[in-house]
Structure 1
């Protein structure tokens, strides 16, 4: 069952401007150390940050809160599997909100997809509740 859906479109040039203007203050307020390492190791640094910014916005929308109600930027973080597939991790208040949304007997799975085509970066997040344990016999 789908618990939440969120999407966001971020302007790469706007994120690049924030990086130039605020530098580490911006990076450290919004992005985890792992996200910063990933972005700084890429050729398209601003696009990488913009995709993660969009993912955080999309995740907050899927959680039903937007970036308010105590949710912090770094409560949501994107890493990548070896295959390159992005994975959303939540901690703090975002994890608490996710637990509140998840029905008993289910686990929450957050799906995220990212893309960019200058000057835009886009993210979609879908939060799914999957039943725990084996399927019921006899349907």
Structure 2
């Protein structure tokens, strides 16, 4: 079952201006060291940050809170699997909120997708509750039987 859906759009140019103006102060407040390391390795650092910013905004919306009620930017972090697939990690208040909204007997899964096409970066987050013990397949398709 779907527990929450969030979407956000971020201007890469605005992110670039913010990074120029506030530098490490902004990066340290909003992004984890892992997210910062990823952005530093990318040729278009501002686009990488803009996608992660949009993902954090989308995640806060999917959690049903927006950026209020104690949620912190760094409570939501995006990393990538070896395949490049983005993954959302929740800690602190965001993790507690996710646990509170997950029905008993279910496991919460946070799905995230990111894209950018200058001058925009976009993210969608879907929070799914899956019954415990139900096999997980990355595509969401039912596992083969037999």
TM-score interval, smaller chain: over 0.9
Deviation at 1:134, TM superposition (A): 5.2
1-structure distance, mates of 2:116, 2:34: 20
Query: Which string of whole-angstrom CA distances, capped at 9 and with x for unpartnered residues, describes residues 18-50 of structure 1?
Result: 100000000000000000000010001000000
The correspondence of residues 1-139 of structure 1 with structure 2, limited to 5 A, is 1-133=1-133
C-alpha deviations, 1:83-118, integer Å up to 9, x for none?
A: 000000000000000000000000000000000000
Measured after TM superposition, the shift of residue 17 of structure 1 is: 0.5
Distance 2:123 2:5 in 1: 11
| Gap runs ≥5 in structure 2 | 136-146
- Tell me the matched-pair count: 135
Distance 1:125 1:82 in 2: 20
TM-score if structure 2 supplies the norm length?
0.91
- Secondary structure of residue in 1 paired with 2:104: coil
Task: Flag structure 1 segments of 5+ consecutive residues without an equivalent.
Answer: none
Partner SS for 2:64: coil
Secondary structure (helix, strand or coil) at the match of 1:13 reads helix
TM-score by length of 1: 0.96
Distance 2:21 2:122 in 1: 23
Q: Whole-Å Cα distance in 2 between the matches of residues 82 and 51 of structure 1?
A: 18
Q: What stretches of structure 1 move > 6 A for 4+ residues in a row?
A: none
Offset, 1:133: 2.0
